[in-house]
Chain A
Amino acid sequence: MPTIESNNIQSTTSEQKSPQTKNSVPIFEVKNLHLHYLTRFGEKIHAVSDVSFSMDQGEVLGIAGESGCGKSTLVNGCMGLFIPPLKPTSGDVLVSGESLMNREPDEVRRNVLGRKVAMIPQGAFNSLNPTRKIKDLAADMIESHENTKDKKEIYSRLRERFRIIGMDESILNSYPIQITAGMRQRSVIAISTLLNPKMVIADEPTSALDVTTQKSVIKMIFELLDKGVFSTMIFITHELPLLRHVAGRIAVMYAGEFVELGTTDQVIFDPRHPYTKALMGSMLSAEPGQRQRKPIAIEGAPPNLAKPIEGCRFADRCPVVKPECKKNKQVMRIVADRQVRCQYAS
């Protein structure tokens, strides 16, 4: 039974930014995943196309991209929980070698959700039931996975956990409306990781928060990583500078596809895909020497994913587009030690 093991807290700072020596089975693997939404008119919106990646224990993978590119849809699918109208089209998601597809929803609920994979959703401060105290929500979660009914024991475990992660006990006895947005965000993080899941997905955990609160949220995430509460994380954001401090590898997503996947340094300082290049160019940076550089906006809008798309999805907005781009389907190629989805990347 996974419990909140305070004596097993290890320091894994050294495992933060780069992938560990490979184990035989990656802790998380996505193979050619395609996801779609079914609208009430029967239309299929192909929100995620051909996404593949794998993660080893201790890795932090950042996923970056503009709003609406499919990041949230992707991670929703990664949980093995397909809430309508989201449906899997094809592909596989494996946790420690176990596939999440085609399983009984209740079995996935019991064994996977919260235990193996945990989600810190977007807009976490809205994710708390307004009529339930924090401690009760956490207790509900524990009770749904274990067979304990002893509330006292559960509450003392919660207090201990909050103490370890440096959160005030009074938050436990509060309703969401009584605490600040930052506290709510951190409560969500605490609750999601209660059962020490191996893998955590954080969907824009710092968006819509003020800078000070952002800092404390990131600090908390790293403390949890340090203490071994979880070891592997997917971190989604549209703010690239943040990923530089957080992720070991970065995947850049556009119109439902990964267009580039490489280490942080590779993607940020030596981008090869035209979209990644444009993204880096559109960033405001506080680096010395960058102040003179004007941010360049990317013209146009992403394509409509309800219709089948021929050729490269970025072709309409690509600054170096060639006529063949619109006809040839683009696949991931290895260029300069990382994956790029562009036939002209060098």
Chain B
Amino acid sequence: MLKRYPTLRYILTRAGWYLVTFMVAVTINFYLPRLGTSNPVDIIMAKVGAGLDTEAAKEKEEAYLKEFGLVELDKSGEIIRNESGKPVRTPTWKQFRNYVLMVMKGDLGTSFLNYPKKVGDMIKEAVPWTLAIQIPTIVLGWIIGNVLGALAAYRRGVFDKIFMPFSLFISAVPYFAVGMILVYLFAIVWNIFPAVGGYAGGLIPTFSLSFFSSVIYHYVLPFFSVFLILAGGQAIGMRSMCIYELGTDYIKYAKWLGIKENKILFYMFRNAMLPQLTGLALSLGLMVGGALITEMIFSYPGLGMAVLTAIQGNDYPLIQGCTLLITVCVLVANFTVDIMIGFLDPRVRAAYGGK
């Protein structure tokens, strides 16, 4: 039955693959941080345990161990102890199982740094800011970059000769470098835009015009930091692709048929767009990383800042929660692009069942 709907087959195959990737990501997310020997509870104890006597310290430690699922509990919730009275530690594989169950329920644990605040809550506050930067920059950067590249390829001439080296340079500059230079020039030297934050320091987030204008004011520099590099990279790639398409047999044939120039441009763009989409999917991970670093430079209150503060404070659950969410975002974005390619390129569908 499925063979009759190659598009459906394609979507399901890709969805299945991404599910597998997600499971691998969750596993990696759990096991990698545990490569080292440091015990997170020890780190907390080092902070809060100073000055407590041994009995109180032991109580506190056990409370934390219980909280973070590192010890075995019996049915009534009491810690199981071995012969010498020490708590029995949960084996790693059990921790993993508990972790997976928690993630399924949407619980990403409790933050060390901001104990007892839940990681999930902290991420919920940060995600909208990150999405606000990621989605527009990626979408607009891709569209505008590709349009400019197509223009440069078709027009050639002066536009191409100036535009090309400029884009080449921009696309090779790392995200943080552009961010830093923009901050320095526009925020410090010329003082046009703010250097730090998602909105002005004293304001409280409300649905007011002054708040929104402050948000937009603070949005400009981070947006352009990422957008410029993205657009530049896309433009260069698209230009090459369009030049290639313009030399193909089918474009020549279309010209011989006497097909209108606009239509031919449409053919060129439509076909050159497809490998650009594939390229987009491949570099999504990189772009997301770049945007996060940009957030850090601007102290923009998104996932990037959350990760930064988490790292600085050794807040493992927060680090893990952020990385898991980032990975999920990249997976979702990749899946979306894959679906788009499936709809736009008949050759891809053909590989999944032909007619």
Contact = CB atoms under 8 A, between A and B. Distances in A.
Whether A associates with B in a native complex is yes
Contacts of B344: 131
Contacts of B346: 130-131, 175, 177-178
A179 to B, nearest CB: 9
Task: Pick from B256, B257, B260, B274 the residue with the most CB of A within 10 Å.
Answer: B257
B205 interface: no
A110 B260 CA distance: 8
Contacts of B261: 106, 109
A144 B259 contact: yes
Contact of A131 (B259, B270, B355): B270
A128 interface: yes
Interface in A175-221: 175, 177-178, 188, 191-192
A154 interface: no
B350 interface: yes
Nearest to B344: A131
Nearest to A141: B257
Question: Could you say which interface size class chain A belongs to?
Answer: 35 or more
Interface stretch (A119-127, A156-164, A230-238, A330-338): A119-127
Interface stretch (B143-151, B172-180, B245-253, B320-328): B245-253
Given A130-B271, A140-B263, A177-B346, A110 B253 contact: no
Given A126-B250, A127-B250, A131-B346, A144 B257 contact: yes
A121 B253 contact: yes
Contacts of B267: 129, 132
B200 to A, nearest CB: 49
Contacts of B254: 129, 137, 140
B116 interface: no
Given A130-B346, A177-B347, A141 B259 contact: yes
Interface residues of B, number: 24
B253 A81 contact: no
A175 B347 CA distance: 9
Contacts of A118: 256-257
A191 B350 contact: no
B58 interface: no
B350 A175 contact: yes
B350 A144 contact: no
B117 interface: no
B250 A129 contact: yes
Interface of A: 79, 81, 83, 106, 109-110, 112-115, 118-119, 121, 123-124, 126-132, 137, 140-141, 143-145, 174-175, 177-178, 188, 191-192
